[in-house]
Each structure stands twice: as C-alpha cells, then as structure tokens.
Amino acid sequence: MDIATIVGLVVGLATIGVVLIMDGGSPAELFAHPSAIILIIGGSLSATVITTPLKVALTLPKYMIQAFTTKNFNAKETISLLTKLADRARREGLLALEEDSKKIKDKFLQKGIMMVVDGVDSEQVEAILETSIEQMRARHKYGAGFFAAAGAFAPTFGIIGTVMGLISVLKQLDNPSALGESIAAAFLATLWGLLMANLIYLPISGKLKANSEEEARNRYMQLEGILAIQAGENPRIVGEKLNAFLAPGDVKSDEAANAKGAKAPAGRAEKAQA
C-alpha cells in the first residue's frame, strides 16, 4: 500500500469537510445536485477516452490500483547482490552466475544476468534492456497522461456546468426568491470540477509519473551493474558505480566497508589497477 496516496486523500477530503462545517454548512451540500457530479465525471472521462487509445482506457482500473500501491525497490540490497555477483564472476567466470541467476526474484535483473551467462554480446544486452526500460516508460506515460488529461478537462467541464446553470438562471429572473439557490447550484459544478482535478486526477497522475521515474532509475542502476559484471569489472568499482545512484547519506554503511578495505591497501591497489 502506498501510504502517501491514502494519507493525502483522507486528509484532503477531511479538510474540505471540516472547512464546510466551520463555515456553518455540511459536507452533504456537495451532493445536493447530482447533475454537477454526473457532468464532471462523465464529461472529463469521456473527453479523455476520446484522447486515449482504447487499450489504455480499458486498463484504467489497473492504473488506479498502481497509484495506491508501492513497488518497493531496495536499492541497497540490489547493489549488494550485484557486487556479490561481480565478485563471483571475476573469480569463477561468467558461467558461474547461472545458479545465482535462477534465484533472483526481480524478472528484469534475472533476464539481464541470464543473457550475460548465455554469452549474448554486450551491446546487444544493453540495447535489449534499454529498449525494455524505455518502452516501460512509454507505457507508464499513457497512464499518467490519462489522469493528467482528465485533470485538465475536469475544471473546464466545471465551468461548462456553471455557465449552463447560469444561462437557465438568467432565463428565470422573474422568480428572485429562488435566485440565490439556483446560482449556488450552478457554482457547484465549478467546485466539483476543481475538486476532482486537484484531489483526484492530477495528484494520481503525479504519483504515477513519480513511480515510473523511480522504477526507471532503479532499472538503469541494474543495467549499469549488469554491464559492469559482463565487462569483468572490479567489484569495488561496480560498488562505486552503483552507489553513485544513492544519496551520500545512504552509502555510509558501505563506506564503513570501504574503510575496512583500506586496511588492506596492497589488495586495493592491485584491484584498482585492473
């Protein structure tokens, strides 16, 4: 479960409710005119569906679930795994990784290591895995783009609803007693358009985009590691390369390990010359 999404949503809705009550109203008023809700949701989704390939529109629920779940990328664990594999590859050769590769749970990493074991050419490995990351990114873009488009359409349909409401109000100016109530109802559409866009559509789009960037970053780190292993690079350099993806603060435990290595300067110098 992605806690940030849920906390944000709950707090956001609670804020709206509290403010309505503080101002002497009640959250129920938001639902007084269902036509506003129908217009906003119906209008924004149908406009977005036109914009979108059918295939994407059909996988919409999948994208919503993705925004509420977290993929956990434990970068440090991945780095320690790749460094270990680099070490073994150097000592026992690339074929020795066959056993290890079967135990890797991450499909992407496993596929990469298996290609290395199979002796696939380094440039091909890079091309295949990079295509795979970039195409993943392109697919993710559809999901984030769907909600971004819906978030752009929703406030406009809110204004459409309010203008439609005002037009019918203006035709009935002879009944001034109901005037205020009718104008209020007209503005409800604007309110729903803004709320749907700013509490649902746009934040979900932002979350999907952030998740996609996080995953791509992690994949590129794995790709870097796989290529370094294939090139037979020094495990310490592999570690350095991968740690460069982390914030300085996150590498401390690793630096402790380096410090330990520093006690054996001879060994280090030998490795570094490789």
Determine which residue in the list 107, 260, 263, 266 makes contact with its own copies, applying CB under 8 A. 107
- Measured from the CB atom, the residue of 170 and 256 that comes closer to its own copies is 170
Closest CB 41 distance from its own copies, rounded Å = 9
**Closest alpha carbon to 33 in 197, 168, 186, 163:** 186
**Closest alpha carbon to 140 in 51, 44, 210:** 210
Q: How far apart are the first and last CA of the chain?
A: 45
Helix (H, G, I), strand (E, B), or coil: what is residue 73?
A: coil
Q: Which residues inside 134-163 make contact with its own copies, applying CB under 8 A?
A: 135-136, 138-139, 149, 153, 156-157, 159-161, 163
Tell me how far apart the alpha carbons of residues 212 and 134 are, in angstroms, rounded to a whole number.
11
Length of the chain counted residue by residue: 274
69 contributes a contact to its own copies by CB under 8 A: no
Closest CB 175 distance from its own copies, rounded Å = 11
Determine which residue in the list 94, 115, 150, 229 makes contact with its own copies, applying CB under 8 A. 115
- Measured from the CB atom, the residue of 84 and 172 that comes closer to its own copies is 172
48 contributes a contact to its own copies by CB under 8 A: yes
Q: Which residues inside 160-179 make contact with its own copies, applying CB under 8 A?
A: 160-161, 163-173, 179
Asked if 157 and 39 touch (Cβ cutoff 8 Å), the reply is: yes
Tell me how far apart the alpha carbons of residues 108 and 19 are, in angstroms, rounded to a whole number.
48
Closest CB 44 distance from its own copies, rounded Å = 9
Sign (positive/negative) of CA torsion 205, 206, 212, 216?
positive
Q: Which residues inside 203-222 make contact with its own copies, applying CB under 8 A?
A: 203-204, 206-207, 210-211, 213-214, 217
46 phi/psi in degrees, rounded to 5: -70, -40
Determine which residue in the list 23, 65, 103, 253 makes contact with its own copies, applying CB under 8 A. 23
Which one of the spans 42-50, 76-84, 86-94 is the region binding its own copies (CB under 8 A)?
42-50
180 contributes a contact to its own copies by CB under 8 A: yes
**CA distances (Å), 6 to each of 148, 204, 211, in order?**
19, 11, 15
Binding footprint of its own copies, residue count (CB under 8 A): 110
Determine which residue in the list 87, 106, 215, 240 makes contact with its own copies, applying CB under 8 A. 240
Q: Between 3-22 and 60-68, two packed helices, what is the crossing angle to 10 degrees?
A: 90
70 contributes a contact to its own copies by CB under 8 A: yes
252 contributes a contact to its own copies by CB under 8 A: no
Tell me how far apart the alpha carbons of residues 105 and 257 are, in angstroms, rounded to a whole number.
26
Q: Please state the separation of Cα 49 from the chain's center in Å.
A: 21
35 contributes a contact to its own copies by CB under 8 A: yes
- Measured from the CB atom, the residue of 84 and 102 that comes closer to its own copies is 102
- Measured from the CB atom, the residue of 127 and 256 that comes closer to its own copies is 127
Torsion of CA 234, 236, 237, 243, to 10 degrees: 150
3 contributes a contact to its own copies by CB under 8 A: yes
